[in-house]
Structure 1
Amino acid sequence: MYINSDLMTFRQHPFEELIDEFIYFSASWTYRALIELLSTREMCIPNYKCDAQNYPVAVIGGPNSDIALHMATNLCLYKIPQLTYGSSSSVMNSNFQAVFSHWMFPNEAHQYMGILQLLLHFKWIWVGVISQNDDHAERFVQALFPMLSQKGICFDFIAKFPQRTFSNAVTGMVAEGIETFRTVMESTVNSLIVHGEIQSMMVLRMLFHLSKFEGIPVKTKVWIMTAQMDFTSLPFQRSLDIDFMHGTLSFALPSKEVKGFQKFLRIRNPTLNQEDGFIKVFWQEAFQCSIPSSRVDHTGGKICTGEEKLETLPGSFFEMSMTGHSYSVYNAVYAVAHALQAMHSSQFKHKTKVNGGTWKLLIKQPWKLQHLLRSVTFNNSAGEIVSFDPNGELLSGLDLINWVTFPNQSFLRVKVGKINPQAPLDNVLTIHEDSILWPTRFNQVRPLSICNDHCHSGYLRTKKEGKPFCCYDCLPCPEGKISVQKDMDNCFQCAGDHYPNNDRNVCIPKVITFLSFEETLGISLATFALSFSFITVLVLWIFIKHKDTPIVKANNRSLTYTLLISLLLSFLCALPFIGQPEKLSCFLRQTAFGIIFTVAVSSVLAKTIIVVLAFMATKPGSSMRKWVGRRLAYSIVLSSFLVQSTICTVWLSTSPPFPDLDMYSVTEEIILECNEGSTMMFYVVLGFMGFLAIVSFLVAFLARKLPDSFNEAKFITFSMLVFCSVWLSFVPTYLSTRGKYMVVVEIFSILASSAGLLGCIFSPKCYILVLRPQLNKRELLIKKN
C-alpha cells in the first residue's frame, strides 16, 4: 500500500484504503510489487519514468516481519519512508534501513517481559515453544530463552512450523508439520508459547485437522500467542473446528472501534467500486458465489447478488470488529497524513513554491518526510494518542486477550490484562484472572504446567539426569533435617533444642529429660538400692551380733566389717546418679563410686590373700605365719584406697565432671547429664578397679581347691566372677547407650556387682549364723587334711 501525492483526497474515504490492502507472503511477490510501485504505471521497468507515474512518498506494508525487510532493501535506496504494521526493528540489516523504517508495533522487549510475567503469575515453569522456521523466530527464541531460564522456567521442546515451500515439496512440508504436531501433543506441558505471524493460524488449524487422519490424540493446551499472530482462514477452513482456541491467551496490539467502521463494512459490496479487484475476489471466496463480470470464468453455480451481508459470515472467516493489524494500518495512514499536513503547513513550502510547489519538492526528496514522521504525534478518531519513539517504534503497550469460542464458529476476544511499558519491570503485566475462561478440560481451574508434581514440605528435590532443571525427583529430607516449603533444593537442620516431626516439615521443641525419682525407672532403681542397703545393714548386724562365733572370727572380722560397710556405701552411692544433675552431685558421684568400690574390691582381695596365706601357714615349718594378720590386710586395703584416691584427685583437679546438656544423642530429648570432663580419667578409675577384681579373681580361682575347711576361696571366686562379668559387659553396653539410659546402665552395674559380692560371700555364712547355728562350732570348722 502506498501514499501518493493525491493523499489529500484520502480523508474522504479512509476505509477504502484499508480494504485495498493485500499481502503476498513471498519475497518475490514483495519485490515485484515494489518494482511496479517504483516504475511507470503498467510498466515493470525499474527507474524508467515516463507518462503517468507513481510518486510514492511513503509505503505501508506488513504484517510479516520479512515484508519489512524486503521493503527496506529496495525503498531505502530511494530514501522512501516505510511504515510496517508488523515487527520488528531487529530484522533490519543495517542502521541505514532502520532510519527510514517505522513500526506500528511497540518494542518487542515489552512482549518478552509480558510473556515472562504471564508465566510467573500462573506459575507455569514447564513450557513448550512452537515458532516459525525463519530468522525472526530464531531471534525470538534466543531472546526469550535466557530470560525464562533465569527465572526458573524451562522448555520441554522448541518446535517449528513447517517451512513454506514449493508445491512439489508439499508432502515433505505436511510430514514435517505432522511431526511437529505430534511432539506438541505428546508433551506433558500444559502451556505452549506460539510465536507466529498472520499465516501461522492457518497452519495451526490445518495441523489440528490433519491430526484426525494421523491418529494423533489431541490434548488440550493453553496456547500463549504473540501479538504478531491474528485469526485468518483459508476458504476451505471455514468449516473447521476452532475449539482448540477456547481459553487461549494472546497478546495483541491495542485497538478501539473506529467510528463509522461498522457502517462502512455493512455498505461494502462488489458493485460499489468496480475497480476494487480485491473485494471481488474476497466476495466470491467468502460467499462461495461468482461474479460474472469478474476475470474468473463463470463455470456455473451460485451468482453473487451483491446483497450478501458480511455480518452473516462466521467469525472465524471474517470479523466485523477492527483487529489489531487493521487498527495499525489505520493509524499508519493517518500518521503519514499528519506528517504531510505538517510539511504542507510549514514555512518550508513558501520557499519552494517558485520551484514548482511543495508536492514537486516532496516527489524529488521524499526523505524530507522522514523527520516529520518520526516526530509526529496525534490523536486518532478513536481518541488514542499515536506517536513513535526515537527508534521509530510505536509508543504503546499490548493487551492480553482471552479467546472464547462458540460451536457456531464464532468467538470473542476478551481483554483480561495489559502490558504497561512504563511500569516497573516486575509489574509490566497486569492480569484480571477472574475474567479468564480456561479450556474446558481444566474445569475453570487454573491449569498447572510443571514437569512433575511439586515436592511437598518434608522433601527436597534432586535433578533428574538427562532432563531440564524443571524436572526433578522428590526425596525425603535426611534424618534431623526439615523443609517447610514446596520444591526446596536443600533441607535445613533444626536448632539444637528442636527436632523434626515424622513428616520432617516442622521443628518441635525437645523435652529436657534426666533419670528422676518421679519416673518408674528411677523409683525402681532407688528401691533396689535402698533394699540392698537394708539387706547389707542386716548382714552387718548379724555379723556384729555373732562376732564372737567361730565362723565370724574365721573370716577376719575387720575385713568383713570393712567389706560390708563399703558394700553398704556402694548401694547408697547409686542414689546420687538419680535425680537432676547438679554441680555437687556431678563432682562427687563418680569419684565416690570409684573409691568406695576400690575399698570393697581391695577388701575381697585382702580376704583372698589371707585365706591363701592362712592355708600355707598351717604347713609345718612354714615361714608364712608372719604374714598372716591384720597388718597385711590393712596394707592391701589402704594402698588400694590411696592409689584410687590419687587418681580421683588428679581427675577432679584437672578436668572434673560438670552438669551438661546433651542435645544430639537422642532425637526428641535434651539430656541433662553429668559430663565426665575427662573420659580417659573415668576409664582409668574403672580400669584400676578392674585390675583389683581380676587379681582377686585369679588368686581365688587358684585357691578354689583348698580343703573344705578353707572354702572361703570358692565363695570369693564366684563373687569375683559375677563382679567381673558385670563390669566387662558394662563397657560396650555403656558406649552403645544414649541419654539417661547410660546412667541406668551404670546404676545397674553398681547394684548388680555389689549384690553379687554380698550374695556370694555372705549368704552361706548368714545361712549358718541364722538357720544352722549348730554348725557354727570350732571343731566342725577345723578338719585334718
Structure 2
Amino acid sequence: MKDAHPPIHDYHQPGDLFLGGIVSHSFIISNSIDFTEESTPVLLEDLRVVIKNYQHILAFEFAVKEINENPQLLPNVTLGFHIYDSYYSAKWTYHDTMLLISSLEKFIPNYKCDGQNNLRAVIGGLDSDISLHVATIVDIYKIPQLIVGPAPLMNEKAPGLSFYQMSPSENLQYSGILSLLLHFRWTWFGILTVDNENGDRFVKNILRIFSQSDVYSAYVERLPRIDFAAKSMDMLLKGAKIHDKVMKSNANVVVIYGESNTVAILRWFPYLSELENMPDKPKGQVWIMTAQMELTSMCYQKTWDTEILNGALSFTIHSNDLPAFQSFLKSINPSKRKGDGFIRDLWQHAFDCFPPSPVVGKVQEGSCTGAEKLESLPATFFEMRMTGHSYNIYNAVYAVAHAIHAMSPSRLRNREIENGRELKPQIQHLWQLHHFLKAVSFNNSAGEKIFFDQHVQLVAGLDVNNWIFSSNQSFHRVKVGKMGPQAPPDQALIINVGTITWHSWFNQVQPFSVCSKSCYPGMRKQKKEGEPFCCFDCTPCPEGEVSDQKDMNDCYKCEDTRYSNKYQDLCIPKVVSFLSYEEPVGISLSCCAISFALITALVLGIFLKHHNSPIVKANYQNLTYTLLISLLLCFLSALLFIGRPVKMTCLFRQAAFGIIFSVAVSCVLAKTITVVLAFMATRPGSRMRNWVVKRLANSVVLSCSLIQAGICIIWLSTSPPFPDVDMHSVIEEIVLECNEGSVTMFYCVLSYMGFLAMVSFTVAVFARKLPDSFNEAKFITFSMLVFCSVWLSFVPAYLSSKGKYMVAVEVFSLLASSAGLLGCIFSPKCYIIVLRPELNHRDQLMRRKY
C-alpha cells in the first residue's frame, strides 16, 4: 500500500444518534501480489476484495433498521451509523476513528461544530490489532467500544483500555478444544497461530492447560500475516515451509488460532508445497479452528480447490437464524443503495460486472444486468445465513440501543420546549453510557438473552461446526456440537460424532492423531527420552506381569492365586497341584512301589522257605532277613510321598525314609564287613576269628541306625516338616507340598546315608577279589555303585525340579536305589535257589572255596 490514502470506503446513514463501525481486516484491501518465479502467472489487481465481510456491514444496517422501526425501544429518535474500512493499517484506522468523532463536513481532528450525528459507541474490530488502534482514541473520549473479535492483549503501552467483548471468553475455547481432543483421544496435534501477541498468549495457555491432560503439541508454527504493504513472496515461502511441515508430521490434527482472513492463507497451502514426489492425494488433516476465523476467500481464489478444508471442525460464535435478515439480503441491489461506498466494488468483483453508474446517461461496457443476487454467490464468498460475527454485530447494536434506552428513559422521549421551539434531546455525558451498557440485559429477536458478565464479556456459548465441501465447490456448515458457557468443564461439550464428515483421505473413518501407536494389552509404554509423555515405545511386560488394557504405563503382577497367560494380557487362575494317585506320574510310581514291595516279600518268602540251605545261611542269615524287611519298608514308605500332603505324612515321611534307608544301608555294610572278616578269620593263627560273631553285625546295624534316628529326632523336635503351599515355584500352579522345615537337617539325613553308602562301597571294593563261592562282596560292590550313582544324580535333579516333580524325583530315587540293592544282591541268590538248586550244596561251596 502506498502512502497515498486509498479510496475511502464507507457507508453512512444519518440520525439523531449514530454508531461508528470499523470493518477490520478490510472489506477491501488495496495492493498487488507479485510472483517472481517465471512458472507462476503474474496476478495484478488493484483490489483484493473479501466479499464475505460485507455481511457484517449488512448485519449492522439491518440491526439499526429494526431499531428505528421499533417505536418501543428508541421512540422519536433516529439511530444512524458510519462505517469505515480500516485497510488493515494502523495509520488509516486512526484516521477513520478520528473521522467518527469529528465533524463530517470538514475533517478537523478533535473538532466538532455540528449538533447532529452524536456518536454514542463504536462497534467493530474482528481482529485485536484494529480494536486496539480504535481504543487508543475513543477511550480518551470515554466512548464505549464493542468488539466482535478477541480482546487485545494489554501491556504497559496500553493500560486501562476497556472493551465490551461480544465474543465468548477464550477460556471457553481452550476448554472446548481440549474436550474435543480428549473425546476423540487425539493426544498429538499441531498448532498454527497468528504471529502476534494474541497468538503467543494462545500457545502459552493451551500448552500449559493441555499438558495437564497428557495432550501435547507436535509443532508450533506462526502463520505469516497478510501484510499488503510488503512483497508477498516472503509470505508464500514461509507458508510453503509450514505446509510441508504439516504434511510430514504424524499429527493428523491441527489447531489453528487465526484471524478473520486466516482461511484465505490456508487455501494457499496446496499450491505452496516444496516436497518432492508429492502424492496424487495429499494427506488430509483435521483442522480445528477457533471462533475468530471465518470461511473467507479472496476474489482470485474463486476456482481454487477447497479439499484441504473439507471435514474441518470450527468453533464458532453461537448464532441463530434470523429469517428477516435473509429476506433483507435478498433485497440488496446497487441501484437501491444510497450512501453505501462498498457495494459497487463488491458487485464488480463478485459478479465481474459494473453496477449502474451514478452519472445519469453514462453506460459502461460490461454493465450489470440488475438480475445479480447475493444468494447466487458460492458460500465460500458469501453466506445468506448469518455468521457468528455478524450475529455478534447485530447483538452489539441492540446492546447499545438498550443501554441508551435505559440511560435516558425520559430525556430521549420528551423534548424540551423553549420559546415554542422543539429542541434536540439533551446530550448526556458519554461516560454515563458505560454504567448502563455493563448492566444491559435483553432478549433479542431470536429469543436469546444477551448480557455481559463481570468482565464485560458476553455470556454466550460456542457452536461446533463441520465444514463440508462438495465437488462443485458448494459449502455446507453442519452443526455437530455445542459448548455451554455455564456447564462444568467436563460436561460443557456436547458432540454428535455420527454427523461429522471427515476428510476423504481418512475414508470416513475417525482419524487418529497420536505420537505413538497404542500399546496393546501385554505391552507397556516406555517413555522416549526428551519427548513428551505421549511419545513412547511399546515393550513387552516382564515375565510374570500383565497389562490388560491399552496404553498402560506399567504392568502389574497377578495375585498369588493367578498367573499371566502366554500373551501377558490376562491373569488365569492357578490349578492346585500335588503328586496325586490319579495322575500318570503318581499312578506309575505307586504301581512301581507296590510291585517292588511284592517282589521283596516274595524274595523274603523264598529265603524263609530255604532258610536251611547253605546259600541262605552264608553271610549271616539274620542280616539278610533284616535287609529284605528294610527294603520292603522302603518301597512302602514311598507311598507316603504320594497324595495330598497332610500333617501326619509330612511329619513322618522324610524321617521314616531316612531311618529305614539307613537300616538297609547299615545291613549292607554289616554284610560286607562280615564277608571280609569271615575270610580273614579262616587263616591259621588269625586274630580275626573272635570278631566273626553275631555281635559285630548287630552292633554295626544298630549303631548306624541309631545315629540316623538321632538326627531325625533332632529334626522333628526343632523344625519339623509341615504342609505348605508354594505359589511361586511353578507359575501356572499352586503346589501343595511338605515344607521340610529345616533344609539343613534334610540334607544332613541325605548326607549321612551317602556316607554309609560310600563306606559300604569302599569295603565292598576291597572284598571283591575274595573267593566267590557264596561271596556277596562283588554283588554288594555293584549294588552300592548303583545306589551311589542314583543318589549322586538325585541332588542336581532335585534342585532343578519344581513343584510336584521334586517329590517325584525323590520317590523315583528311593525306588531306584532300593531296587538296585534288591536286584544286585538277591537276584543271583534267587536264581540259584529257584533255578539252579544243584549249586545250593555245601559240597559245591567247599569245592569252589578250595
User: Shift of the alpha carbon at 1:216?
Assistant: 4.5
SS for the counterpart of 1:78 is coil
For residues 303-323 of structure 1, what are the alpha-carbon distances to aligned partners after superposition, in whole Å with 9 as ceiling and x for unaligned?
A: 234442111111111112211
Sort the Cα spacing of 1:656 and 1:78 in 2 relative to 1 into closer, same or farther, 3 A. Answer: same
Which among 797, 807, 813 is matched to residue 743 of structure 1?
Answer: 807
Paired position in structure 2 for 1:191: 253
Sort the Cα spacing of 1:53 and 1:69 in 2 relative to 1 into closer, same or farther, 3 A. Answer: same
Which among 126, 150, 159 is matched to residue 188 of structure 2?
Answer: 126
CA distance in 2, matches of 1:192, 1:531: 81
Paired position in structure 2 for 1:7: 17
Paired position in structure 1 for 2:301: 237
Paired position in structure 2 for 1:509: 573
2:211 is equivalent to residue 149 of structure 1: yes
TM-score, reference length from structure 2: 0.86
CA distance in 1, matches of 2:721, 2:517: 53
Which among 763, 768, 771 is matched to residue 704 of structure 1?
Answer: 768
Paired position in structure 1 for 2:95: 32
Which is worse superposed, 158-167 or 100-109?
158-167
User: Shift of the alpha carbon at 1:300?
Assistant: 7.1
User: Shift of the alpha carbon at 1:487?
Assistant: 1.2
User: Shift of the alpha carbon at 1:468?
Assistant: 2.9
SS for the counterpart of 1:425 is coil
Paired position in structure 1 for 2:784: 720
CA distance in 1, matches of 2:736, 2:801: 15
- Does the 8 Å contact 2:15/2:81 carry over to 1? no
Which is worse superposed, 395-404 or 215-224?
215-224
User: Shift of the alpha carbon at 1:530?
Assistant: 1.6
SS for the counterpart of 1:525 is helix
- Does the 8 Å contact 2:80/2:117 carry over to 1? no
User: Shift of the alpha carbon at 1:198?
Assistant: 0.5
User: Shift of the alpha carbon at 1:12?
Assistant: 4.0
CA distance in 2, matches of 1:555, 1:367: 133
Paired position in structure 2 for 1:549: 613
Paired position in structure 2 for 1:254: 318
Sort the Cα spacing of 1:87 and 1:18 in 2 relative to 1 into closer, same or farther, 3 A. Answer: farther
Sort the Cα spacing of 1:214 and 1:542 in 2 relative to 1 into closer, same or farther, 3 A. Answer: closer
SS for the counterpart of 2:465 is strand
CA distance in 1, matches of 2:489, 2:417: 51
CA distance in 2, matches of 1:525, 1:19: 108
CA distance in 2, matches of 1:307, 1:755: 117
User: Shift of the alpha carbon at 1:618?
Assistant: 2.3
For residues 350-399 of structure 1, what are the alpha-carbon distances to aligned partners after superposition, in whole Å with 9 as ceiling and x for unaligned?
A: 99999x9896643xx32121111111112222222211111110011111
CA distance in 1, matches of 2:277, 2:783: 90
2:66 is equivalent to residue 56 of structure 1: no
Paired position in structure 2 for 1:655: 719
CA distance in 2, matches of 1:18, 1:103: 20
- Does the 8 Å contact 2:84/2:96 carry over to 1? no
User: Comparing both structures, which one devotes a greater share of its residues to helix?
Assistant: 1
User: Shift of the alpha carbon at 1:286?
Assistant: 1.0
CA distance in 2, matches of 1:569, 1:370: 110
Which among 160, 163, 168 is matched to residue 97 of structure 1?
Answer: 160
Paired position in structure 2 for 1:88: 151
Which among 129, 133, 137 is matched to residue 70 of structure 1?
Answer: 133
Sort the Cα spacing of 1:166 and 1:286 in 2 relative to 1 into closer, same or farther, 3 A. Answer: closer
- Does the 8 Å contact 2:411/2:425 carry over to 1? no
Where does the alignment leave 5 or more consecutive residues of structure 2 unmatched?
Answer: 1-9, 20-60, 69-78
User: Shift of the alpha carbon at 1:716?
Assistant: 1.3
For residues 718-769 of structure 1, what are the alpha-carbon distances to aligned partners after superposition, in whole Å with 9 as ceiling and x for unaligned?
A: 1111111100100110010011111111111111111111111122222222
SS for the counterpart of 1:83 is strand
- Paired residue type of 1:281: D
Identity over aligned residues, as a percent?
54
SS for the counterpart of 2:119 is coil
User: Shift of the alpha carbon at 1:704?
Assistant: 2.2
- Does the 8 Å contact 1:3/1:58 carry over to 2? no
User: Shift of the alpha carbon at 1:77?
Assistant: 2.4
- Paired residue type of 1:188: N
- Does the 8 Å contact 1:4/1:54 carry over to 2? yes
Which among 115, 128, 137 is matched to residue 199 of structure 2?
Answer: 137
User: Shift of the alpha carbon at 1:46?
Assistant: 3.7
Sort the Cα spacing of 1:671 and 1:345 in 2 relative to 1 into closer, same or farther, 3 A. Answer: same
Sort the Cα spacing of 1:510 and 1:153 in 2 relative to 1 into closer, same or farther, 3 A. Answer: same
- Paired residue type of 1:258: L
- Superposed CA RMSD in Å reads 3.0
SS for the counterpart of 1:318 is coil
SS for the counterpart of 1:319 is coil
- Does the 8 Å contact 1:547/1:553 carry over to 2? yes
Paired position in structure 1 for 2:582: 518
- Does the 8 Å contact 2:645/2:737 carry over to 1? yes
Q: How does 1:485-496 map to 2 (within 5 A)?
A: 485-496=549-560
Paired position in structure 2 for 1:588: 652
Which is worse superposed, 740-749 or 39-48?
39-48
Which among 244, 262, 285 is matched to residue 200 of structure 1?
Answer: 262
Which is worse superposed, 504-513 or 162-171?
162-171
CA distance in 2, matches of 1:347, 1:75: 25
- Paired residue type of 2:168: P
- Paired residue type of 1:101: F
User: Shift of the alpha carbon at 1:346?
Assistant: 5.5
Sort the Cα spacing of 1:193 and 1:146 in 2 relative to 1 into closer, same or farther, 3 A. Answer: same
- Does the 8 Å contact 1:18/1:326 carry over to 2? no
2:515 is equivalent to residue 451 of structure 1: yes
User: Shift of the alpha carbon at 1:249?
Assistant: 1.3
For residues 166-202 of structure 1, what are the alpha-carbon distances to aligned partners after superposition, in whole Å with 9 as ceiling and x for unaligned?
A: 6554222111101101111222222221111101011
Paired position in structure 2 for 1:317: 381
User: Shift of the alpha carbon at 1:410?
Assistant: 2.4
- Does the 8 Å contact 1:3/1:57 carry over to 2? no
- Does the 8 Å contact 1:4/1:55 carry over to 2? no
User: Shift of the alpha carbon at 1:4?
Assistant: 8.9
SS for the counterpart of 1:321 is coil
User: Shift of the alpha carbon at 1:622?
Assistant: 2.1
Which among 469, 474, 498 is matched to residue 405 of structure 1?
Answer: 469
Which among 317, 339, 354 is matched to residue 290 of structure 1?
Answer: 354
CA distance in 1, matches of 2:641, 2:417: 118
- Does the 8 Å contact 1:715/1:761 carry over to 2? yes
CA distance in 2, matches of 1:385, 1:92: 33
Sort the Cα spacing of 1:447 and 1:21 in 2 relative to 1 into closer, same or farther, 3 A. Answer: farther
For residues 273-310 of structure 1, what are the alpha-carbon distances to aligned partners after superposition, in whole Å with 9 as ceiling and x for unaligned?
A: 34321111111111112357489xx9975223444211
CA distance in 2, matches of 1:551, 1:275: 144
SS for the counterpart of 2:346 is helix
User: Shift of the alpha carbon at 1:770?
Assistant: 2.1
Paired position in structure 2 for 1:160: 222
Paired position in structure 2 for 1:600: 664
2:288 is equivalent to residue 278 of structure 1: no
CA distance in 1, matches of 2:734, 2:275: 70
SS for the counterpart of 2:272 is helix
Sort the Cα spacing of 1:209 and 1:54 in 2 relative to 1 into closer, same or farther, 3 A. Answer: farther
For residues 218-257 of structure 1, what are the alpha-carbon distances to aligned partners after superposition, in whole Å with 9 as ceiling and x for unaligned?
A: 2122211111101111111122122333222111112223
Which is worse superposed, 129-138 or 154-163?
154-163
Count residues in correspondence.
779
- Does the 8 Å contact 2:314/2:464 carry over to 1? yes
Which among 433, 438, 456 is matched to residue 502 of structure 2?
Answer: 438
- Paired residue type of 1:627: W
Sort the Cα spacing of 1:765 and 1:389 in 2 relative to 1 into closer, same or farther, 3 A. Answer: same
Which is worse superposed, 767-776 or 43-52?
43-52
Sort the Cα spacing of 1:407 and 1:104 in 2 relative to 1 into closer, same or farther, 3 A. Answer: same
CA distance in 1, matches of 2:158, 2:417: 33
CA distance in 2, matches of 1:409, 1:272: 30
CA distance in 2, matches of 1:422, 1:292: 51
SS for the counterpart of 2:730 is coil
